[in-house]
Amino acid sequence: MASRARAGNVGRSVPRLEGPEKVEGRARYVDDLRFPGMLHGRTIRAPHPCGRLRAVRLGPGGLPLGLVVVGPRDIPGDNVIATIEDDQPALAWGEIRHAEEPVLLLAHADREALWAIPAEVDMIPGTPVFDPLASPRVFKQIRIAKGDAAAALRRAPVVVEGEYRTGAQEHVYIEPQGVIAVPENGGITIHGSLQCPYYVHKALCRLLRLPPDKVRVIQVETGGGFGGKEDYPSVIAGHAALLALKARRPVKMVYDRGEDMRATTKRHPSIVRLRSAFSRDGTLLALEAQVVMDGGAYVTLSPVVLSRGVLHASGPYRCPAVAIEGRAVMTNTPPNGAFRGFGAPQTLFAIEAHMDRCAQQLGIDPVKLREKNAFRPGDVTATGQKLPKDTAALPVLREAVRRSDYHRKRIAWAGTGRGIGLSLFFHGSGFTGAGEVRLASKASLELTPKGVRILVASTEIGQGTRTMLAQIVADTLGWPLSAVEVAPADTGLVPDSGPTVASRTCMIVGGILQKAARELKRKLGRAKPAQYLARHGALVVTGQYEKPAEIQWDEERYRGDAYGTYGWGCDVVELEVDPVTREVRPLKLTAVQEIGKAIHPGLARGQVEGGSAQGLGWALSEEVVMRDGRMANAQLTNYMVPTTKDTPEMDVTILGLGYRHGPFGAKGLGELPMDGPAPAVVNALRHAGFDVREVPATPERLLRCASR
Amino acid sequence: MRFTLNGKPVAVDAPPMKRLLDVLREECGLTGTKEGCGEGECGACTVLLDGAPVNSCLVPVAHAEGAKVTTIEGLRGHDKLQRAFVTEGGAQCGICTPGFVVAASTLPRGASLEAVQEGLAGNLCRCTGYAGIYRAVAAARGGGKSAKKKAKR
Amino acid sequence: MKTAASALHLLRPESPAQALQWMRERAPLQPLAGGTDLYVALNFGTCPARAFLDLSRLGAWRGIKVERDGGLRIGALATFAEIRDHKGVAKALPALCAAAREIGGAQIQNRATIAGNLANASPAADSAPVLLAADAVVELVSVSGVRRVPVAEFFLGYRRTALQPDELIQAVVIPTPPRAGQWYFRKVGTRAANAISKVVFCGVRGPQPRIALGSVGPVPLRARRAEAALAAGEPVETAVAALQQDIAPIDDLRSTAEYRRFVAAGLLRQFWERTASPVRRPVRRR
């Protein structure tokens, strides 16, 4: 090891560590693994969206020899998927709350024989609720209040109101959900496609009534997550584990695309009503927001999704009086869950679409209106957070407007069928409020003869976690990248670094690792790793999250520093509407995003490009069609994710103002790019003459919306 | 069933209607070819059948009889393309990558951006927004410029 | 795959004669060409057939021939990649090349056949409106002989065709050189590529205008009332009104009846506008 080698990996686009395996087809995903004696698992699911389960019948016909059947009574522990509340059973019995709810599990060595077994689920159907506004059950309600919004709205000279809706979105990670459960050492080992090994670990200890050391969760190469593999893996891993423990053999459970789309989580559909008050010169005086999120049948992560939603509902704007009321409600559809952005894209869609309507009503240019009201450093948010120096709303706005030649096109394209629109947005990095304190994440570094090994539960799901964390550690130690290896995300090896969600891995876990690396360096002194190991034996340094002193949050009153810091973005979308077919063709997306510091500019750019494409899909073509509580278009033929020809040219600029508590100044990034495209699209459509307040803005919807 | 797999003759004992995808993964142990949808939409299972890209989830192994089948594991002479997928951000989670690399290997050198888009329209990627994939193809094989005149802006 | 592959039988005839004999004697057999539709159903476990007849070895039914009179004879097993890249087709019937280019991605075009697209009888079959507008004829063959059925009479109802249980398609014939007149083709799909059509429109403007559409009824259809209105020299809006009588679109997973009627009307106007000048325009792809 050349320990004197000049540091300088951070800020450079070094080749990603696991790249060669992926491009040569050597990377092993869960469906590529086989274990001796392995069985295949199958889930029998409820046919109706609600009612009472009477019986599950297998057959007619003989059942194959060696068939393993698991019902609720075979569950050794609590029949719950442990997340926030204990309302969701691993296997339903009695009450059924959504179609596709799992009721019975089967496993067999022969996959063909397994799928040939006829299964009938006998239910007394009930009366389902699908409209979130008519839901009788509120999972979570949150209020945020600053000043007297009602009074300001009464007095203001200009009041604009509107309702904005967003649809569900399917993750379409190209690798469907899958795990293999292996009974071993008196417990269970899970090999799975997942984002959060310790979430699965916690859920399994509860379900199987096993002590923590008897449950081991190993993330294998994961073919995309986007939040979809945050909560659901606890369900599928639980099922596979129940089968494996009963069969005493490994059980592989891999969903096909149809089952994955019908049964697993989606982005929460939302309905947001806004009322805003302005002075005649366009100064925002007050904002009132009512946010409703459709949680689906069980609580799962809905309270936190709602929390992030309401915390972004007033947008990146200074406003003296704000009243936000948010509700996550139950409907009889499969539970909605985490999806990149986690509630923020929904409320940011509303406020950003609303701002262009406000600009129109005020007769002010949308950029001017935003410039006038956008947060500056030192401004105070709806929760009373004083914004830090790295508040970058104006820099991203100005750069995006300049790069896209927004003003000229805005005039030149009027009445041509082309449109240009923008959105200004922000995204809180890391867990909300006191979340990081509760998580108390840990990350370790282990000295190896050649250098150091990173031990974290943060998962590589395509975003480049391993590479980016290795860069942070290498530069903190002043060592070359080749001296740093990254252990697999295996709960048997690594500490609980918290989940790989919420744009927290780089800023939070990277920060803990940076601290650990400094500590390691201090302990090592002038010794080389091999020398140190020879003299003192093994060395593992573990860092833990420490809250910066100035961050204060009051969970009861929703007051204080909602997030440590925020990333900032401005997207400009240029598009063309076909006059004959109302098909919308995006021509170009200009994204300017401020993320503190890009540890790896290439990976950061990839996050922005990929997140933006996903946002454009949500905005234009991705529509989950529900019929009687079931996804009716659960095929990639009928659920339209963007292809090469649907995705426009993207001009990405990354700014970095630095965040003093982030490693090398880094903030969070992963979710930010998801927030901007949808409102920029509808604002461009507004410019092209279409008053659309709902996404996806399909041609069918454009036909219905009154032309302006 | 006999065919040529990645340049070597192989004989497999499989039902004729078994999907080529399953035969490659289960009988031949080549798991680089992935299943993403089972309906010919995502292209993750792309292999070359006598040099032409096909979705192996829609091909009975019977149709491989006597043919040349090339999978990601046997793709020769495309190291530059594969490296470019790593360096240019063409691969993120990697599950679609083998299908993209196999499909991209059949694109003509110096292809315009539109030709690349057309040639890869049968492959879905959910991570990259395709931009990194275009950069990778252009870096390895030249071209990648838009052939269309810049629209009047 | 949800269907058990080991329970499926595949007969592999070496000649058309053998294939036809087996179709008669071993019925019911599900013919298998490129498999791009059948395997989707097999993967989903929704294909009822258990015995299949493999057409892949029937060399005689491959290939595309330009006839001396300028017509085309397209073998049943011609793939859309072959059609897409065929110079003779490009010259005689460019709309068919355009349709072929929009059927799935390259992987699908390399496998899917013209006969499969017709026999599957999807109302959204992209090649069908072009063949309808070209007055193409399907050659159906059984041990009893050959029947020539105009494409317009081939589709009997939703997913139902004129094929008898023992018949196979051996070729699609475009009997007369279709170049008289100006052609227009446009597919409006669920996205810009690799899409299922919401409306497909093919029109040819000549002394007798011919108009065919897909995805606007239970079968791909000729818009006879609209054609008559245009042939009679009526204003285009009269033809648009007549077209609404010709079609019977529905709401489904991919679109709405309202949208399909709106688009069909718009495409008819666009067709008429773009073919107004005698200069032959290239087929519009988007």
| Mean pLDDT, rounded, for A514-539 | 97
| Range of the structural domain that residue A246 is part of | 35-124+172-263
Q: Are A538 and A560 in contact (CB under 8 A)?
A: no
Chain B neighbours (≥3 Cβ pairs under 8 A) are A, C
CB atoms within 10 A of CB B7: 10
* Edge-to-edge strand ranges of the sheet holding C51-54: C9-11, C51-54, C30-32
pLDDT digits (tens, 9 = 90+) for B66-125: 999 999 999 989 999 999 999 999 999 999 999 999 999 999 999 999 999 999 999 999
Whether residue A699 lies within 8 A of chain C, CB to CB, comes out as yes
Domain around B61: 2-74
In a domain, A598, yes or no: yes
pLDDT tens-digit series, residues A179-224: 999 999 999 999 999 999 999 999 999 999 999 999 999 999 999 9
Would you call C234 exposed, middle or buried from its count of C-beta atoms within 10 A (0-12, 13-18, 19+)?
middle
Task: Mark whether B12 and B49 lie in a shared domain.
Answer: yes
Residue C79 has pLDDT above 70, yes or no: yes
| Residue range A497-514, pLDDT digits in tens | 999 999 999 999 999 999
Asked which of A263, A288, A319 is the last residue of a domain, the reply is: A263
* Residue B151 pLDDT > 70: no
Both B7 and B70 in a single domain? yes
Min CA distance, C10 vs chain B (Å)?
A: 7
Percent of chain A residues past pLDDT 90, beyond the cut: 97
595-634 in chain A: CB under 8 A from chain B: 602-603, 605-606, 609-614
B87 and B129 part of one domain = yes
pLDDT of residue A129: 98
Nearest by CB to residue B37, choosing from A19, A26, A257, is A257
Q: Is C44 on the interface with A (CB under 8 A)?
A: yes
Q: How many CB pairs under 8 A join B and C?
A: 94
Q: Are A253 and A236 in contact (CB under 8 A)?
A: yes
Q: Do residue A438 and residue A425 come from a single domain?
A: no
Res. A706 pLDDT band, cuts 50 70 90: low
Rounded distance between C-alpha atoms, residue A390 and residue A378, angstroms: 10
User: What stretch of H or E contains A678?
Assistant: helix A677-687
Cα-Cα-Cα-Cα dihedral sign, residues A52, A53, A54, A59? positive
Query: How long a stretch of residues is chain C?
Result: 286
Task: Quickly count helices (H) and strands (E) in chain A.
Answer: 19, 28
**Distance (Å, rounded) from C-alpha C79 to C-alpha C115?**
9
Q: Across residues A362-369, what is the average pLDDT?
A: 98
Instruction: Give the whole-angstrom CA distance, residue A682 versus residue A686.
Output: 6
Give the model's confidence band at C277: pLDDT under 50 very low, under 70 low, under 90 confident, else very high: confident
| Domain identity same for A179 and A52 | yes
Neighbors of chain A by Cβ distance (3+ pairs < 8 Å): B, C
| Chain A residues whose beta carbon lies within 8 Å of the beta carbon of residue B121 | 643-645
Question: Among C2, C11, C82, C107, which would you mutate to test the B interface (most chain B Cβ atoms within 10 Å of its Cβ)?
Answer: C107
Please indicate, yes or no, whether residues A284 and A363 belong to a single structural domain of this protein.
Answer: yes
Can you tell me the mean pLDDT for A64-87?
96
Q: Which tokens belong to A547?
A: 């809250």
Contact list, C192 vs chain A (CB under 8 Å): 585, 643, 645-646
What count of CB pairs under 8 Å joins A to B? 165
Q: CATH number, domain at B64? A: 3.10.20.30
Which residue in B32, B37, B133 is closest to A636 by CB distance? Answer: B37
DSSP state, residue A511? H
Tell me the two tokens of residue C219: 């079968």
Tell me which residue of C78, C63, C54, C58 sits closest to C15, measured CA to CA.
C58
**Does B50 share its domain with B97?**
no
Give a yes or no: residue A393 inside a domain.
Answer: yes
- Mean pLDDT for the stretch of residues A159-164: 98
Phi and psi dihedrals of A83, rounded to 5?
-130, -105
Residue A118 has pLDDT above 90, yes or no: yes
Q: Are residues A480 and A499 in the same domain?
A: yes
Cβ of C282: how many Cβ atoms within 10 Å?
8
- Closest Cα of chain A to B67: distance in Å? 22
Q: What pLDDT sits at residue C69? A: 86
Spatial CA neighbour of A30 closest among A252, A200, A258: A252
Q: What is the pLDDT of residue C177?
A: 67
Condensed to tens digits (0 to 9), the pLDDT of residues A304-345 reads 999 999 999 999 999 999 999 999 999 999 999 999 999 999
Confidence of residue A7 (pLDDT cuts 50, 70, 90): low
Sort out which chain C residues have CB atoms less than 8 A from B41's CB and list them.
194
CA A484 – CA B73 distance, rounded (Å): 28
d(Cα A658, Cα A422) in Å, to the nearest integer?
25
Answer with the one of B17, B48, B74 that is the final residue of a domain. Answer: B74
Q: What CATH number is attached to the domain comprising A440?
A: 3.30.365.10
Judged against a pLDDT cut of 50, whether residue C233 lies above it is answered with yes
Pick from A615, A105, A624: which is nearest to A331 by CA? Answer: A624
Encode pLDDT of A372-384 as tens digits: 999 999 999 999 9
Q: Please tell me the predicted confidence (pLDDT) of residue B53.
A: 98
Q: Is A284 left (phi over 0), alpha (psi -120 to 50) or beta?
A: beta
pLDDT of residue B152: 39
Pairing state of beta strands A584-594 and A649-655? parallel
What are the φ/ψ torsions at residue B110 (nearest 5 degrees)?
Answer: 70, 20
Give the closest-approach CA distance of C40 to chain B in angstroms: 5
Report yes or no: A323 and A144 within 8 Å, Cβ to Cβ. Answer: yes
Partner residue opposite A19 with nearest CB, options B86, B95, B118: B86
In-domain check, residue B92: yes
Mean pLDDT of A423-435: 94
Q: Which residues in chain C have their CB less than 8 angstroms from residue B55's CB?
A: 36, 107-108, 111
Q: Which of A243, A263, A283 is the last residue of a domain?
A: A263
From chain C, the residues in CB contact with B16 under 8 A are 8, 10, 12, 54
**Nearest chain C Cα distance for residue A474, angstroms:** 44
The reply to whether A524 and A628 lie within a common domain is: no
Q: Which CA distances in Å does B80 have to A155, A559, A684?
A: 67, 54, 40
Domains parsed from chain C with CATH numbers: 5-54 (3.30.43), 59-174 (3.30.465.10), 182-274 (3.30.390.50)
Contact yes or no for C110 and B52 at CB 8 A = yes
The per-residue pLDDT for range B12-58, each reduced to its tens digit, is 999 999 999 999 999 999 999 999 999 999 999 999 999 999 999 99
A367 lies in the same domain as A257? no
**Exposed, middle or buried, A378 (CB in 10 Å: 0-12/13-18/19+)?**
exposed
Chain C residues with CB inside 8 Å of A700's CB? Answer: 255-256, 258-259
Minimum CA–CA partner of C109 in chain B? B54
Question: Domain for residue A662, yes or no?
Answer: yes
Judge if A226 and A299 occupy the same domain: no
Q: Which residue of A has its CA nearest to B95?
A: A223
Interchain contact, C253 vs A638, CB within 8 Å: yes
pLDDT band of A433, cuts 50, 70, 90: confident
| Full DSSP string of A590-625 | EEEEE-S--SSHHHHHHHHHHHHHHHHHHHHT----
* Residue B151 maps to a domain: no
Count of domains observed in chain B: 2
CB contact under 8 A, A112 and C263: no
CA dihedral B71, B73, B77, B81 (to 10 degrees): 90
Asked if B151 reaches chain C (Cβ–Cβ under 8 Å), the answer is no
Q: What is the mean pLDDT of residues A82-89?
A: 94
Tokens 């698991």 belong to which residue?
Answer: A70
Same domain as A486, residue A456: yes
The 8-class DSSP code of residue A648 comes to: P
Residue C279: predicted pLDDT: 52
A640–C contact, CB cutoff 8 A: yes
Is A77 in the same domain as A211?
A: yes
Contact C267 A580 (CB under 8 A): yes
Q: How far does C63 lie from chain B, in Å, by closest CA?
A: 17
Q: Residue A28, by phi and psi: left (phi above 0), alpha (psi -120 to 50) or beta?
A: beta
In a mutational test of the C interface, the residue from B18, B33, B58 whose CB has the highest number of chain C CBs within 10 Å is: B58
Closest CB to B95: pick one of A224, A612, A613. A224
pLDDT value, residue B106: 97
Does B58 contact C at CB distance below 8 Å?
yes
Note whether B93 and B130 are same-domain residues: yes
- Calculate the average pLDDT of chain C: 95
Residue with tokens 């129940």: A242
Q: Is the Cα dihedral C258, C263, C268, C269 positive or negative? A: positive
**Interchain proximity C107–B43, CB inside 8 Å:** yes
Counted domains in chain A? 3
Average pLDDT value for residue range A105-121: 97
**HSE on the CB side for B54, CA within 13 Å?**
30
A492 lies in the same domain as A408: no
Q: Is residue B146 part of a domain?
A: no
Nearest Cα neighbor of C215 from C247, C239, C241, C245 is C247
pLDDT at A4: 40
Are the beta carbons of A431 and A196 closer than 8 angstroms?
A: no
Shared domain check, A476 and A335: no
The C-alpha angle with vertex A408 and arms to A402 and A411, in degrees rounded to 5, equals 140
User: Is A632 touching C (CB cutoff 8 A)?
Assistant: yes
pLDDT at C278: 63
First to last CA, chain B: 58
User: Are A27 and B94 inside 8 Å of each other by CB?
Assistant: yes
pLDDT at residue C179 in the model: 62
Residues A473 and A503 in one domain: yes
Q: How far apart are CA C225 and CA C211, in angstroms?
A: 10
- Give residue C214's pLDDT: 98
Within 8 A of A635 by CB-CB distance, chain B residues are 37, 39, 41
Using the 3D structure, point to which of A235, A263, A291 is the last residue of a domain: A263
